[in-house]
Structures are given as C-alpha cells and as structure tokens.
Amino acid sequence: MKSAAVKVDRLEKALGKNQVLRGISLEAGSGEIFGLLGPNGAGKTTTLRIVCTLLAPDAGSVEVLGFDTRTAPEEVRRRVGVVTADIGVYPRLSARENIAYFAELSGVLDGELERRVDTVLERLDMVPFANQRAESLSSGQRQKVAIARAIVHDPEVLMFDEPTSNLDVLASREIRNFMVESRDRGKCVIFSTHVLHDAERLCDRVTILHEGTVVATGPTAEVRGSHRDLEDAFLELVEK
C-alpha cells in the first residue's frame, strides 16, 4: 500500500440501541481501490458516513490525509467526494446547474467555476445532456451527475457506496471504469459493496466487515486465499 490517505482507528458507533461498529480499524491508500465489503448491516455505510463527517464516532478516530474528522471536519470535506446508490440530484436543476451548485458549496472560486464544471462534463462524457433537467435524465445519466458533483472540487479521496446497485450493465461498467481511472490518477478510491464479484475485479485491497467488526483485511488475492473466489472466502469467514 502507498501512503495511507484514510486511517480508521478502533472506530465504534451505536445508532440507537444498535451497536453498528465495534472497534474497526482500516487504512486506505492513495493510488488504490480499497474495497469495504460485507453483507447488509455490516457497518459499511456507517463507516463511510463517519469518514465524510456526516456522523461523529462514539469512540476511535478517523483521519483523512492527516486531518481528524472531529477536529478539522471542513478540511476533511474539502478532500472527500462521495457517491451513493441513493443518487439524490435536484430534479428541477439541469445537470450543469447541479454540478455548479456543489462546486460553489465546496468553495470553488467564481472565476474557476465554469472551467471546472466544463472539465468534469467533458471527462464524464456528459456534454450532450448537460443542460437537460435532472428529472428528464436516465438513471445512468443521473448517476453521472452524482459522480460529477462528487469530483468537481477535485478531492483526493473518492468514496463509492454501492454506486452500481440501481444501474444497468452499461452504466455500471462506466462507473467501474471511472473508479479505475481515478485510481490511476493517484486518488484514494474506497468502494463499498456487497457485490463481491465487482470487488474482486476492481479492488487492490479489501476489508470485510461482519456485524461491525473486521473479519479479514489485506490484498484481494490474499483474502481470497485458496478459495475459488472472494465470495467463497467471504462465506467461510462470516459463517465461522
């Protein structure tokens, strides 16, 4: 692993009476795709929410590029982009306006705003529908808007939480290609999914969560071990 961009140390979190995280630790590096795997309810989304400062941990700490999420949340937010399965773009704004809105909120300066938005639109091949309202776009196109708004401020850490769960094969492939491209550009890409086949193809390293604890972590091939695929290894780990 190259230098750690995201460090999670003994993280604990309860939501109501439910203890979601029970002291998990992990590190994700720049220039790698890091898989955060586990069944529904394992604590993947809660972990990502704490990393992007939406939730505060009960115990433990999270650092993003050296900034603690509790003491420097603004610095962390400036360095993180998040894409979730729940796309949540503003339906009555155009694709361009949605992206520009988030760029403004992320502190992109007025003079640079248009150039940044245009760059992202071209990079994600969105120019043909840039001025269409989001409500008239397909799911794949809306997911592209969600990605565009997550990367418009050029964050060093990109987090994808089940990004392909509502998408067709073509749109999913585009998202996967984008993750690989981001990794090659030196970004730290955290990919949370329960689709182990995707994780196996994409991730350099993985951490498997189960009921709020880490049950395996390491390079993907190492975690798979002698099993036929990651799914078999995963099943054995969670059934122990």
Partner 1 sequence: MKTLAIVFRKEMREILRDRRTLIAIGLAALATPTVLVIVSQVSTQTATQTYTVGYNGEIPTGLDILLAATALTL
Query: Could you say which of 15, 59, 105, 221 contacts partner 1 (CB under 8 A)?
Result: 105
Task: State which residue, 100 or 206, has the beta carbon closest to partner 1.
Answer: 100
The alpha helices in 79-216, defined as continuous H runs, are 95-105, 110-123, 139-151, 169-184, 196-202
Task: State which residue, 29 or 73, has the beta carbon closest to partner 1.
Answer: 73
**Distance, CA of 130 to CA of 145 (rounded, Å):** 9
User: Does 88 contact partner 1 by CB under 8 A?
Assistant: no
Angle, helices 139-151/110-123, rounded to nearest 10 degrees:
140
User: Does 27 contact partner 1 by CB under 8 A?
Assistant: no
Task: State which residue, 102 or 160, has the beta carbon closest to partner 1.
Answer: 102
Task: State which residue, 67 or 102, has the beta carbon closest to partner 1.
Answer: 102
According to DSSP, residue 94 is labeled B
Minimum separation from the CB atom of position 95 to partner 1 (A): 14
Stretch that binds partner 1, among 98-106, 120-128, 212-220, 221-229 (CB under 8 A): 98-106
User: Does 97 contact partner 1 by CB under 8 A?
Assistant: yes
- Residues 160, 195 contacting (CB under 8 angstroms): no
User: Does 90 contact partner 1 by CB under 8 A?
Assistant: yes
**Distance, CA of 65 to CA of 47 (rounded, Å):** 16
User: Does 93 contact partner 1 by CB under 8 A?
Assistant: yes
Structure tokens at 148: 């565009």
- Considering only residues 124 through 153, tell me which ones interact with partner 1, judged by CB under 8 A: 133
Stretch that binds partner 1, among 64-72, 92-100, 197-205, 222-230 (CB under 8 A): 92-100
Contacts of 64 (CB under 8 A, 6+ apart): 5, 6, 51, 75, 76, 79, 80, 157
SS3 label, residue 225: coil
Residues in contact with partner 1 by the rule CB under 8 A: 90, 92-93, 97, 101, 104-105, 133
